[in-house]
Structure 1
Amino acid sequence: MSKAKRYLLAIAFLACIYVQAQEIEPTTPEETEFYEPVPPKVAPGKNGSAPSDAIVLFDGTSMDKWISSKDSTAAKWILNDDGSMTVKDRTGDIQTKQNFGSVQLHIEWKSPEQVQRDGQNRANSGIFLNGLYEVQVLDNNDNDTYVNGQVGSIYKQHVPLAMASVPTGEWNTYDIIYHAPEFDKGQKVKSGTLTVIHNGVLIQDHVEIKGTTPYIGWPKNPPHGEGPLRLQDHGDNSRVSYRNIWVRELD
């Protein structure tokens, strides 16, 4: 069990004690104060850099922590001199070698400066939590599409609260809180949730994940445990770039 989960369980235990004690009104301030468990210290990063307890998945120096989603060979995307990586058209999705459950994810992305195509074919990519649940990446600047498939949507499920993209060709930031669904004996007993902050703007507010996010058909709920973070090659010369990717495990 992780330190974070032990900390949350201890808090829950103390909360139960606190509720039981409410029958007698406290008469001193000390009766409503407690000093354990002490939260772990985390040194925050600066300007989007990873905090001290994060797992850095891409820092611009190599793609060693990523593999091809289709055959588990080395990731074939383009590693750029500016510390980013760019989708190499029709080489397929890439995913992390490491699997995760619930996480806080920080990731930065940008569309190419030169606009090509329109609708879903303009700088389309996606970020898949657990390899299954997509947060849409798309250049929506002066580019309308179906709103449950626009930038920042939980694809085909949740329309974003706002369209908060920066100008085409500039770097966007997603900060995502993902709580994985729970399964028992092959059945989902608790839905997962997603919170997405796009360039500092809340666009998905603890929304329920209905299941997988397919292009065609209804969401499905196959039982699963931990899974990879997957980045999409949409196969349309999207040329989307990514940089500064890190996660903090939440359980």
Structure 2
Amino acid sequence: MSIHFSKSLAFATLMAIVAPLVAQQPNAQQPGTATTPAMKHQDTEVYEPVPPVVTPGVTDSAPPSDAIILFDGKNLDEWVSNRDKSPAKWTVSDGILTVSKAPGSGNIETKRTFKNYQLHIEWRIPENITGSDQARGNSGVFLASTGPGDAGYELQILDSYNNKTYVNGQAGSIYKQGIPLANPNRKPGEWQTYNVVWTAPTFNDDGSLKTPAYVTVFFNGVLVQNHFELKGETLFIGKPFYKKYDTAPIKLQAHGDKSEPISFRNIWVRELN
């Protein structure tokens, strides 16, 4: 074999290795051809639809300009009894909404119904709370209350600061389904905050599930549910299943245990597409 032929073979071998590697390198602007012109940066820039302008609140917890105010500390005009749609019977005092122990008061729910939304709600367990396990400030935010006799979809409220219970039933859990990713509870007597993004389930005409429900929850600013997929309604006993609905109220629970009543404030919601 001649030296000239060896050099040619080596060069050919090198090019066979290098050429594919060069072809794999990213190129910000691929050259065009006779049938496909080179792309410009404008080709991937979108100008419509223009997002609506929303003025944020003066603080992260204050309602933005497009929010529906569900409780601003003044009255219960946006709420009714879950049992019979009569006026809600909880207590409003000093800008705070408190679960009523009066006979017949029961759970309350919003007059309006919702599908997909962003929810802000603040709640407080009394400083002098007693009891243990699930009987320690038990309440819940039902993200979709599908009927007085249905379980609905519950985000649990409980004193979990120093209170052992089953982890899929502690504060920040999607009751009996989603264990929270962390426990950021403050002490009883301090205000706690839930910021929630709820994506409602959708159903086929025959009532079968089309897409499941998803929920993301920030608890005192800490992510505790990350686009969690629900398996159905949050049942106390039994396996979850879905029941067809379109839109539903948001419900607050009067659990009925002997612990001191839970309080709420600053409740608002933003409807999402």
**What TM-score bracket applies, with the shorter chain setting the length?**
0.7 to 0.9
Instruction: Name 1:29's counterpart in structure 2.
Output: 41
Instruction: Name 1:55's counterpart in structure 2.
Output: 68
Instruction: Name 1:160's counterpart in structure 2.
Output: 180
Aligned partners of 1:26 and 1:32 also within 8 Å: no
- The offset of 1:24, in angstroms, is 5.4
Change (3 A) 1:25 1:112: farther
Question: How do 1:209-220 residues align onto structure 2 when only pairs under 5 Å count?
Answer: 209-220=230-241
1:245 counterpart = 2:267: yes
Question: How do 1:38-49 residues align onto structure 2 when only pairs under 5 Å count?
Answer: 38-47=50-59, 48-49=61-62
Identity between Structure 1 and Structure 2 (%): 49
- The offset of 1:33, in angstroms, is 1.4
- 3-state SS in 1 of match to 2:198: strand
1-structure distance, mates of 2:176, 2:111: 27
Instruction: Name 1:65's counterpart in structure 2.
Output: 78
Instruction: Name 2:189's counterpart in structure 1.
Output: 169
- The offset of 1:248, in angstroms, is 0.6
**Aligned residue type for 1:242:** F
TM-score (norm 2): 0.81
TM-score (norm 1): 0.88
Change (3 A) 1:32 1:165: same
1-structure distance, mates of 2:121, 2:159: 16
- The offset of 1:46, in angstroms, is 2.3
1:103-129 Cα distance to aligned partner (Å, 9 max, x none):
100000010010211110101100001
1:75 counterpart = 2:96: no
Aligned partners of 1:66 and 1:94 also within 8 Å: yes
Name the stretch that deviates more: 170-179 or 26-35. Answer: 26-35
**Aligned residue type for 2:121:** I
1:149 counterpart = 2:166: no
Q: How many residues align?
A: 228
**Aligned residue type for 2:158:** L
Instruction: Name 2:4's counterpart in structure 1.
Output: none
2-structure distance, mates of 1:36, 1:211: 36
Instruction: Name 2:256's counterpart in structure 1.
Output: 235
- The offset of 1:85, in angstroms, is 0.5
Instruction: Name 1:103's counterpart in structure 2.
Output: 117
CA RMSD between the two structures? 1.4
Instruction: Name 1:189's counterpart in structure 2.
Output: 210
1-structure distance, mates of 2:155, 2:248: 16
> Comparing both chains, which one has the higher relative contact order based on Cα–Cα distances under 8 Å and sequence gaps of 6 or more?
1
- The offset of 1:153, in angstroms, is 0.2
1:205 counterpart = 2:226: yes
2-structure distance, mates of 1:26, 1:143: 64
Name the stretch that deviates more: 84-93 or 55-64. Answer: 84-93
1:160-191 Cα distance to aligned partner (Å, 9 max, x none):
00001111110011000000001012111110
Structure 1 or 2, whichever has the larger Rg, is 2
Q: Work out which of the residue numbers 126, 136, 153 in structure 2 matches 1:112.
A: 126
- The offset of 1:87, in angstroms, is 0.6
